[in-house]
Amino acid sequence: MRASDYVVDIILDPEIIPLYKKKNQFGLRGEWYTRNSVETPQGGCPRILWNGRSLMKPDGNIIHNAPSWFLRRFPKTPLDGHLVGYKKNCPDWENITYLLIDLPIDPHIFKDRLYMMKKIQKEYSFITMCKYTYYKKIEECNFREELYLIKATSRYVSGYSTTYIRLKTNFIGWATIIGFVEGKRDFYTHLGKYKCKTIEGKKFYCRKNIPVEIKKRYKFEKTRLLKNSLDFGDLGDMLIYNSRYMLDLGGKLVPIEPNYIKIIKK
């Protein structure tokens, strides 16, 4: 997950959805922090980095219209965060605050960086901080529509990372069919599940909610699929699915327990 993917819009849906149904559903182990969503004030709050001397955008462009008195308020330590209330055309610098989310060049693990961020927040009144909640087991936390997870032992990275994870719910997507798996019991010699690949290259299986009449259209003989039985879905066709949970793992979207919707022929 990129730092620019941080979302700071408030979540209005009051329903709390449990993070998991069964142990290790997402394959995440160890100690984790969750970053709570915060309300975005009118005017927005773009992600802005502080390099110790000037404010800069994620693409490296310097914000030249920042007054010198405002820059002197910052510490010498580089910061990663958002300018809350910043307007590109006519920024009101007296009412702009800085929302701190991480420390870019700090070599320590996140648990230690969090301690340093709290110290900075106490020393500088115009700097606020994202609220992080600690969980020893990932299955203990709850979320609504979207959740950001940071592993307690993770180092800061500027690009994608498997220790900075975004978890979404009620996701609808598509993937390419790359294989077929024979079923068991009542569906022995018939289709059990589709093997699919997302546009990001992540492979997964889809077996839930496939209609019985579709499964029985596929016929296996000695574990090999008979080609003349592919009158509904073949290799290369597009499978539309929905997933209650979608894991953004290192820039690759991973559907959790995807449900079959339909197939679109290529």
Q: What is the pLDDT of residues 206-260, one digit of tens each?
A: 988 888 888 888 887 666 677 656 667 788 889 999 886 676 655 567 777 788 9
CA angle centred on 222, ends 219 and 226, rounded to 5°: 35
Higher pLDDT, 259 or 12: 259
Query: What percent of the chain shows pLDDT beyond 90?
Result: 17
Cα separation, 127 vs 125, in Å, equals 6
Cα separation, 54 vs 146, in Å, equals 32
Model pLDDT, residue 152: 85
Q: What is the pLDDT of residues 143-167, one digit of tens each?
A: 555 677 788 888 887 765 667 777 7
Model pLDDT, residue 54: 93
Model pLDDT, residue 251: 58
Q: What is the pLDDT of residues 168-221, one digit of tens each?
A: 667 788 889 998 888 888 788 888 889 998 887 888 899 888 888 888 888 876
Model pLDDT, residue 108: 92
Higher pLDDT, 34 or 10: 34
Rounded to the nearest integer, the mean pLDDT of the chain is 76
Model pLDDT, residue 28: 64
Query: Which residues, in sequence order, are bridge partners of residue 75?
Result: none
Model pLDDT, residue 162: 66
Q: What is the pLDDT of residues 57-113, one digit of tens each?
A: 888 889 888 899 999 999 999 999 888 888 777 778 888 889 888 898 889 998 899
Residues whose CB falls within 8 Å of the CB of residue 12, separated by 6 or more in sequence, listed in order: none
Other CB atoms within 10 A of residue 90 CB: 7
* 3-state SS, residue 248: strand
Cα 226 to Cα 69, 70, 114, 265: the distances in Å are 75, 71, 57, 18
Q: In which order are the strands placed within the sheet that holds 97-102?
A: 55-56, 47-50, 79-84, 97-102, 127-129
Indicate whether 41 pLDDT > 70: no
Cα separation, 251 vs 18, in Å, equals 24
Structural domains in the chain, CATH included, are 3-161 (3.30.470.30), 171-264 (2.40.50.140)
Query: Which residues, in sequence order, are bridge partners of residue 259?
Result: 208, 242
Token reading at 88: 């590109």
Model pLDDT, residue 11: 27
